[in-house]
Structure 1
Amino acid sequence: MAEKRTELSDLGEFGLIDKLAEGISLNNSSTVKGIGDDAAVVEKDEHFALLSTDMLVEGIHFDLSYCPLPHLGYKAVAVNVSDIAAMNGKPEQITVSMALSNRFSLEAIEALYSGMKAAANDYNVDIVGGDTTASKSGLVISVSVLGQVAKNKITYRKGSGQNDILCATGDLGGAFIGLQVLEREKQTFLANPDMQPQLDKYQYIVQRQLKPSARMDIIHELKELDIVPTSMMDISDGLASEVFHLSKHSQVGFAVYEDQLPIDKQTYDTAVEFNLDPITAVLNGGEDYELLFTIKQEDHPKLEKHRDIHFIGHAQTLDKGNVLITKNGNHVPLKAQGWDHLSS
């Protein structure tokens, strides 16, 4: 009798993580939080240490035909810093590991590292080590980040209560639409190598895809305003997907208002140009690396005039589910169709 075979694509990324986490026991009392949040949490004297890691794989997460190496290096650091921001923490050290094929020269790796050094400088983190090895195919980059947070400031994906306000930073959907532009220009180039890429009018959304920023500025501002979010995570797999994560961990539902979703004009116009629904891009696009968090009602006055924090919804009882309230007032069940790294 043939052994049962379960395809990873059937599980999906989060299903695989849940499966791998089964049966893992925490052997050290210093481990406060293991698998299941944006970073692991470890007891360290007067504060918590935060530890996270992200891997970027050529052909899955980036395409070097249109991704400049310095931008890729910057992004590799920024996406890790974003995980520490999502815990309301401060990143301090990173390690960088790379698997390299022989098509990469020293100059190419120096270009990649120049972006990493720029990001390390921007986010005030130290590159303290790593590993390099050979790869028979493409480039693989794995960055681990160590940070810290005061024990009374830590923010998990759980913690949101009924009537908490759901907030999102920046604007959403731009990275996804920027990727559509880059893919179109790549196909145009492959069809006719004499054609120059037409990217001038898409600079903002292309930048959102190639060189995203971690929102440490928001974390610093929340600290200055003495606001500790009740729950938080970063938006890497699409807003809808992240809303479901907060819902699952906090055991509340969320009502999200379509007319409050933050979308840049260039994102909106380009989505229409590509015959894509801008709201779908916002809900399911991914890779924006903005922050999604909840605050208590009493903290609303402190943020109501903030130009880059948007109040997009509120928490409700779990039985009401996660719904999108459309511009004409209809309640539509929210669907998470964010990008799954394990699907084909």
Structure 2
Amino acid sequence: MQRTDLAELGEFGLIERIKKNTETVQPSTIVGIGDDAAVIDSGSHYTLVATDMLVEGIHFDLSYTPLKHLGYKAVAVNISDIAAMNGFPKQITVSIGLSNRFSVEAVDEIYEGIHAACKNYKVDLVGGDTASSKSGLIISVTAIGEVPKEAVTYRKGAQPNDVLCATGDLGAAYFGLQILEREKQVFMENPNMRPELKEHEYLVGRQLRPEGRTDIIHELKERNVVPTSMIDISDGLASEILHLSQHSGMGFSVFVDNLPIENSTLLAAEEFKVNPITAVVNGGEDYELLMTISQKDYEEIKGIPEITPIGFVTKEKNNILVTKSGEHVQINAQGWKHLENS
């Protein structure tokens, strides 16, 4: 029997392979595999279902990740997927795999973070599972949300001349990770050294305790604006642009000058001698929203300070970065690729 390494497909190739061989038979299944969340017809509205798994040694390092923050993040990254469908989260389930090195008190800390996230996003923890693990800590969260049928937003749907927008700022989570990894190395070489994190509080916070942007979904609802397409920025801006391009069959032009970058991110880029645009385009884990807005609706949302226009949609399926000098650079995804180093 032929054996194909998972690294040959990568995460997205594997998802496409599973999707291709999966048949849906329930008429209530509107969208299955392939978007930020599954969409199920619940009569008066659509129910949204999203699942993410965080695995120790792959998605987090407990040498610098507080358990409370980890619990919060596990919820927030799923809330982000519900927001990316223009929906509102309602419930979550949490499944957790634990090795015998974890105490009851450690589990309490994880759930303290989970409960904090539930309170913040106004969602109910309604179930889950616990199991033993021989490979460290594993947390899997499923988020359940709702969206009016007329307001659901997919990765497909972008039209020529739509405005491409991003929420918040980008690249901070990448540098938060670089700082944490650097301080870990310093500590390993000299355990008497205290980590220097205070001046990088914002960047580290963006890595350890991100937020799902449900606030933006409320802003859009108040203005009766439905994006033509949307995705959350988890694997890097370039990767998400290519997803929107593939699903919509359109191209995107992105202006480097318009990318929203915090001053602390620019300072960290200088410190680490990394081009900040590289971090923004390929860094990932920002959990901001990337959306396309029709020209007629853009007037309604352009006053929202947390939404920045960064480009536009083109009929030609060509994805480019436009530099300050006017040079056109092809967009290629170089962000985090799961399964390659597993």
SS in 2 for 1:53: strand
User: Is structure 2 residue 324 aligned with structure 1 residue 335?
Assistant: no
After the TM superposition, which residues 1-344 of structure 1 pair with which residues of structure 2 at under 5 Å, given as runs?
3-319=1-317, 321-344=318-341
- C-alpha separation in 2, matches of 1:243 and 1:318: 14
User: TM-score with structure 2 length normalisation?
Assistant: 0.99
Unpaired segments of 5 or more residues in structure 1? none
Q: How far is the alpha carbon of 1:302 from its aligned partner?
A: 1.6
Give the CA RMSD over aligned residues: 0.7
Q: How far is the alpha carbon of 1:137 from its aligned partner?
A: 2.3
- C-alpha separation in 2, matches of 1:223 and 1:305: 14
Which has the larger displacement, 183-192 or 329-338?
329-338
- C-alpha separation in 1, matches of 2:135 and 2:23: 35
Q: Which amino acid aligns with 2:328?
A: H
- C-alpha separation in 1, matches of 2:32 and 2:135: 32
Q: Any idea what the Cα deviations from partners look like across 1:279-322, whole Å, max 9, x if unmatched?
A: 00000000000000000001122222221100000000134x00
Q: Any idea what the Cα deviations from partners look like across 1:120-158, whole Å, max 9, x if unmatched?
A: 000010000100011112000000011110000000000
Q: Which amino acid aligns with 1:29?
A: P
Q: How far is the alpha carbon of 1:47 from its aligned partner?
A: 0.3
Q: How far is the alpha carbon of 1:264 from its aligned partner?
A: 0.7
Q: How far is the alpha carbon of 1:343 from its aligned partner?
A: 1.6
- C-alpha separation in 2, matches of 1:192 and 1:341: 32
Q: How far is the alpha carbon of 1:4 from its aligned partner?
A: 2.4
Runs of 4+ in 1 over 3 A off after TM superposition: none
User: TM-score with structure 1 length normalisation?
Assistant: 0.98
SS in 1 for 2:150: coil
- C-alpha separation in 1, matches of 2:283 and 2:165: 18
Number of residue equivalences: 341
